[in-house]
Amino acid sequence: GENVEQHPSTLSVQEGDSAVIKCTYSDSASNYFPWYKQELGKRPQLIIDIRSNVGEKKDQRIAVTLNKTAKHFSLHITETQPEDSAVYFCAAPRFSGGGADGLTFGKGTHLIIQP
Amino acid sequence: KAGVTQTPRYLIKTRGQQVTLSCSPISGHRSVSWYQQTPGQGLQFLFEYFSETQRNKGNFPGRFSGRQFSNSRSEMNVSTLELGDSALYLCASSKGTGNTGELFFGEGSRLTVL
């Protein structure tokens, strides 16, 4: 099955600085890589995703890069703001004998924005 | 458009009991996935249902089961509860299968096993 490793587990940055979270995956067949943000006490919500036919995708202050050869993808947040404080999860498709089913999530990164 | 609704939101059970959790997906979504969230293990895939059929199951014992009804609502059941089953159980719905597009999560059912 798919194995997703996420680093770091905790990241503290000064407000206005950039934050980078990295994930690696094991199955070369993976073709969809979403990032979810979970604020304290709330549900996870998709913030950005990338498919394997592109190397980078941006949405305002958030960007995701994908390196298929190295099997890793990263979330980049620029000009961090207090509301960026949350737990961020990366994910990749699970694979079984019948094909891709469900998602395997990384264990999460707790991003702390220091004022 | 109503979001994903999970009931109950909180429940306390004792070891050996069983529990049933319910999930109503967003209207028009045919896929419902279930995940267990714990502080140490993050989000772990339990199973996914699509058009009333279980597509796959994660690495959980047979005590964990589920089903999906014709209106796409889903239930999951845990029998013979153990202390380690204490967790937040999240369900998520999606238009297509749960590994190719956005998952819309419910607020979860927090289960405490005493």
Give A93's Cβ-side CA count (13 Å radius).
Answer: 22
Average pLDDT over residues B22-50: 93
Least trusted range by pLDDT, from A33-42, A44-53, A103-112, B95-104: B95-104
Average pLDDT over residues B93-103: 82
| A-to-B residue pairs, Cβ atoms closer than 8 angstroms | 67
Token pair for residue A100?
A: 């891709």
Contacting A residues, span 12-31, partner chain B, CB-CB under 8 Å: none
Residue B67 predicted with pLDDT over 90: yes
Residue B99 predicted with pLDDT over 80: no
Query: Could you tell me the pLDDT band of residue A97, with boundaries at 50, 70 and 90?
Result: low
Report pLDDT for B87: 97
User: A70 by DSSP, 3-state: which?
Assistant: coil
- Cα A70 to Cα A2, A6, A65, A91, B69: the distances in Å are 15, 14, 12, 16, 42
Residue B95 predicted with pLDDT over 90: no
Query: Could you tell me the pLDDT band of residue A102, with boundaries at 50, 70 and 90?
Result: confident
Interface check A48 vs B, CB under 8 A:
no
Residue B92 predicted with pLDDT over 90: yes
CA-to-CA distance for A59 and B3, rounded, in angstroms?
Answer: 24
Residue A29 predicted with pLDDT over 90: no
Query: Could you tell me the pLDDT band of residue A88, with boundaries at 50, 70 and 90?
Result: very high
Token pair for residue A103?
A: 């998602």
Tell me the pLDDT of chain B averaged across its residues.
93
Query: Could you tell me the pLDDT band of residue B33, with boundaries at 50, 70 and 90?
Result: very high
Residue B1 predicted with pLDDT over 80: no
Backbone angles phi, psi at A65, to 5 degrees: -115, 150
Task: Give tens-digit pLDDT for B76-90.
Answer: 999 999 999 999 999
The angle subtended at Cα A48 by Cα B58 and Cα B57, nearest 5°, is 10
Characterise B16 by phi-psi region: left (phi > 0), alpha (psi -120 to 50), beta (else): left
CA-to-CA distance for B21 and B5, rounded, in angstroms?
Answer: 11
Kindly report the nearest CA distance between residue B82 and chain A, in angstroms: 23
Amino acid at position A79, single letter: E
To the nearest whole percent, how much of chain A has pLDDT over 70?
A: 93
Report pLDDT for A40: 93
Query: Could you tell me the pLDDT band of residue A54, with boundaries at 50, 70 and 90?
Result: confident
Q: Do A108 and B58 touch (CB under 8 A)?
A: no
CA-to-CA distance for B83 and A82, rounded, in angstroms?
Answer: 36
Tell me the pLDDT of chain A averaged across its residues.
92
Non-local CB neighbours of B21 within 8 Å, separated by 6+ positions: B6, B7, B8, B75, B76, B77, B89, B91, B109, B111
Nearest to B35 by CA among B70, B59, B13, B3: B59
Report pLDDT for B40: 77
Residue among B42, B45, B105 minimizing CB distance to A102: B45
Give B45's Cβ-side CA count (13 Å radius).
Answer: 31
Residue of chain A nearest B102, judged by CA positions: A46
